[in-house]
Amino acid sequence: MISFEMTDEQREMRDVARKFTRNQIIPAASELDEKAEMPVNIINNAFKFGLWNLNLPEKYSGMGLDHLTEAILLEEIAYGCLGVCGAWAGNSLGLTPILLAGTEEQKDRWLYQFGKEPIFAAFCITEANAGSDVSAVRTQAKRVGDEYILNGVKHFITHGGIAQMHTVFARTGEPNSGTKGLSAFLVSKDAPGLSMGKLENKMGDRASHISEVIFEDVHVPVRDRLGNEGQGFKISMQTLDRTRMCIGAAAVGVARRAYEEALEYSKQRIQFGKPLFKQQAIAFMLADMATEIEAARGLVWHAAWRMDSGDADPKLGAMAKLYAADAAMKITVDALQIFGGYGYMKEYPMEKLMRDAKILQIYEGTQQIQRIVISSRITN
């Protein structure tokens, strides 16, 4: 029997995350956005509360959550601030390749540190000319004896340069080898030659750390390659097939926050002699928001449920990300419209929610890429 009811444990964890968000994230979100600061204190407190390392196995002192429970918690955290949620989602993204393709020896050697303190992981694939087109990656990994020497620059990397573990996708094949020439490597932030480049100044999502990562003759032992040479593209795609659901969950959180803020405001604001929510034009906007949020959450939960059932469907993950991100963008714009001029002012949360929502349509594959993923599977 299919059920949309959370288990008692999931409901309890959601309530803990919801309380944490209201007490610690929401009060700090505006200042973090204004200053473009990483939420270090919030992350430290999350670690103490046991709300960090969502997908890190319990063997390494992580939460070891199933995908559905992870989606439930990410929705709550993103409700408070998408930029803050980026630290959680960024770690899940950075850890997923080693969870999928790492040997037990690699996992034991790299993952134990994540359970000891709140540190970061990074997923390093994007470059100046290699965003949607992964085949255009130019970072080189030249094998010399029992190690590889990495050279190149990665762009727009969450936790770039500050992550204890960088999962790096580099070319081991010829320059024109396309996706077949990519391999994946685990690189410590302390590796000589690894440095942080430009810290990005973003429109929204400003509490997340996004930067360049520079590799200059970085030596990586062969034992720190994930899988075999040439398997990097496969590992990266398998990773994104699983983590796009996380972006969908975060989008639901942003959309829900905008909707609830607009709904509350519409009850208080009197126009033409009655509250806004009793004006049909506004009531219909709110009805559409509520419907789109439920539909988006349903897709996210379906994608997560399929992964937890051992039958991950890349199409569903792409659908969840596509629909939820588009819904979040539309809902934040419409919610700001309900606030009118006040929504445009920084003293209200609406303009931040709208700025944050846009990145949901871009990172971990643009909406156009999601449509490619979906169409390639429905036409085969």
Residues involved in catalysis: 364
Q: Nearest CA to 86 among 32, 48, 128? A: 32
Q: Are 303 and 320 in contact (CB under 8 A)?
A: yes
Pairing of strands 182-188, 194-199: unpaired
Please count the CA atoms within 13 angstroms of the CA of 113 that sit on its side-chain side. Answer: 11
Exposed / middle / buried, residue 175 (Cβ in 10 Å: 0-12, 13-18, 19+):
exposed
Q: Are 111 and 61 in contact (CB under 8 A)?
A: no
Pairing of strands 210-221, 147-158: antiparallel
- R_g of the chain, CA atoms, integer Å: 21
Which segments of the chain does DSSP mark as H helices, in order?
A: 8-20, 26-35, 40-49, 67-80, 82-101, 104-111, 232-268, 280-308, 314-339, 350-359, 367-378
Rounded Cα–Cα distance for residues 249 and 372 (Å)? 21
Q: Are 93 and 364 in contact (CB under 8 A)?
A: yes
